[in-house]
Amino acid sequence: MSDALRPHYRLLHELDERFDQLTAAIHRAATLYESAPPATWRLSGSGDATWLRDALLDMWHQQHQDGRETRNYIAVIAADEPLIEAFQEVNAAKSAISTLLQRIKQSEPGGLSNAKQRLPQRHPDVEKVLRTGGMARLHLKQCWRQLPIVEAPVARVRLAWYSSGRSIKRITVQEAEQKLLQLDSDAPHVRIQLRKLAGIPSSEPLAQVQNQAPLMRANLFFTEPLMDGQTRRALNIAMPLVVPAHEGRLPHIKVPPMEPPAQRTRAKRRDEKLESDAFLPSLRVYRYR
């Protein structure tokens, strides 16, 4: 092995160790949870206590899964101090994995891809998962996403779907043209859009819009003001929300619908800056008003 490759392989060896530490932390937390299941609310309804272990170990792309999608586990757990500490250890192990994967990405162009293909061999249920064909490679977002742990007692949790989020990226006319040319430039609908683009000033800014997947928003209402004076907080959750148990009970939870609303629930802002119809539909590109 050349000297140039040694640091990269050391990083991969360290990744094996970090991943083993992560799975060990997950199993410790799940075992503690299962040994005396605390008060728990789950969006998906009832089930045995092993659901949490399955949720925390779900770190893999499934076959034919869109790489941008993540599988969410919406729940609220009223945890005592030992269980909170176990969840904090899981989060620390996830952070260590995230930091190391970024180092591997910087060490070699294909390093991250190699790492994602390597780690399935260390999955605790690898034989079963391979038999069912459910595992392809590591899903980075599901691997390192944190468990939301609330640091102070909560009186109420109001859960609601947030389905009107959009990502808006400003692009130039030249960039839009290049993106169209990467499509089938002989297709009639692409030629129409190229002509439309040629008819506006080259200096005009455009906006490329990506509708974001529905999110679950948790609004927390604390039993007492925090040290900074806050009495409430809002955060998006994709993993179980961990709150300090108050006499073993959950806080009051406003339960959301099982599914997000089919239509946009918030009224459009009066100061909407984009035209209502896409200027270049194939790219989801809009003109500013």
CA dist 105 and 115 (Å) reads 9
pLDDT at 89 over 60: yes
Strands 206-211 and 166-171: antiparallel
The C-alpha atoms of residue 240 and residue 103 are separated, in whole angstroms, by 28
How far is Cα 193 from Cα 282, in angstroms, rounded to an integer? 8
pLDDT at 248: 86
Q: Which amino acid is at 18?
A: R
Using CB atoms within 10 A of its CB, is residue 253 exposed (0-12), middle (13-18) or buried (19+)? middle
pLDDT, one tens digit per residue, over 138-195 is 777 788 899 999 999 999 999 999 876 677 889 999 999 998 888 877 788 888 999 9
CATH number of the domain located at residue range(s) 166-211+264-287 in this protein: 3.30.54
Residue 287's pLDDT is: 93
> How far is it, in rounded angstroms, from Cα 151 to Cα 250?
15
Give the residue extent of every domain in the chain.
6-150, 166-211+264-287
Answer for the pair 197, 180: CB distance below 8 angstroms, yes or no.
yes
273 vs 43 pLDDT, higher one: 43
* CA gap 90, 76 in Å, rounded: 17
The answer for residues whose C-beta is within 8 angstroms of residue 207's C-beta and 6 or more apart is 168, 169, 170, 171, 274, 285, 286, 287, 288
Tell me what the mean pLDDT of segment 76-83 comes to: 97
In the predicted structure, residue 235 carries a pLDDT above the cut 50: yes
Rounded to two decimals, the pTM is 0.73
Pairing assessment for the beta strands 285-287 and 206-211 based on DSSP bridges: antiparallel
User: Considering the chain, what percentage of its residues have pLDDT values greater than 70?
Assistant: 78
